[in-house]
Structure 1
Amino acid sequence: MPFKLSLDPGEKFAINGAVVVNGDRRAVLMVENQAAVLRDSDVIREDEARTPATRLYFVCMLSYLDADAADSHYPRFSEHMDAFMEVVENPRVRLICAQISLAMMNREYYRALSGCRELIEYETLILGGADDGQRLQSRA
């Protein structure tokens, strides 16, 4: 089933790790095969990953955009997840963490990203909205 991507003028997106910029008009693209696609608003740079949940998101994002190198990112993911789980007691959040870990083990990186968005939302609530993942929260 094709994936339809509607783009605003100048909007950026990543497809399989390559950054693409739309021209000066609105465009609709159809991706016919399996590809890792993320809008610019869903991409974070490493220096923006300053909270535990955004660090997890960043590593999952790297795995999603470059699945061939995902195994090299897993130790870092595991380290960040262990640190996150050490301080979280909420059973619902711990379940989300387990689901993210399972998705990463099953190479379901987009599913892991979706779970990380939930963690960012939780973290935002706990921190009173003062985290750097705020722009991702609106997409969760």
Structure 2
Amino acid sequence: MALKLSLKPGEKFVVNGAVIVNGDRRSTLVLQNKASLLREKDILLAEDVDTPVKHVYFPIMLMYMDPDGYKKYHEQFVLRMTEFLSVVEDAETKLLCVAISKDVMDGEFYKALMKCKKLFKYEQSRLAYEE
């Protein structure tokens, strides 16, 4: 199944570890085979990992983009997800964490990332509540 990407001018994305930048016009690309692809908005840089959810998201992203480092990143993911689950009280959020973990176990890293993005909203609401 092909993946169709509509890109904004100058938009960056990563395909199998290669950073690609779109030109100065909108364009559409079609990927005909399976590839690890992340848009700029879904990429988290190491220096931006500063919250518990980002510590969960980051190793999933690395497992997706760098399969050779899977073991190291998976250990980080398990540690961070365990820490996060130990402080979460909301049942719905716990179920989401279980679903993310299942996706990671199944090698469905992109699905896990998209589910993990939902945790950012939960985290924001908790941080705003505690301030």
User: Which interval holds the TM-score relative to the shorter structure?
Assistant: over 0.9
- Determine the C-alpha separation between the residues in 2 that align with 1:35 and 1:128: 37
- Determine the C-alpha separation between the residues in 2 that align with 1:88 and 1:101: 15
List per-residue Cα deviations over 1:9-38 (Å, max 9, x = no partner).
111001112110011221110000011111
Q: Which structure 1 residue ranges, 4+ long, deviate > 6 Å from structure 2? A: none
The residue aligned with 2:78 is 78
Structure 2 unmatched ranges of 5 or more: none
Letter in 2 for 1:121: K
Residue 32 of structure 1 pairs with residue 65 of structure 2: no
The residue aligned with 2:108 is 108
The residue aligned with 1:21 is 21
Name the TM-score, length of structure 2 as normaliser.
0.93
Which has the bigger relative contact order, CA under 8 A and spacing at least 6? 1
- Determine the C-alpha separation between the residues in 1 that align with 2:26 and 2:112: 30
Please report the RMSD computed on the Cα atoms of aligned residues, expressed in angstroms.
Answer: 1.5
- Determine the C-alpha separation between the residues in 2 that align with 1:65 and 1:10: 21
The correspondence of residues 1-140 of structure 1 with structure 2, limited to 5 A, is: 1-128=1-128
CA deviation after TM superposition for structure 1 residue 67, in Å: 2.6
* Identity between Structure 1 and Structure 2 (%): 43
Letter in 2 for 1:52: P
- More off after superposition, 34-43 vs 62-71: 62-71
Name the TM-score, length of structure 1 as normaliser.
0.87
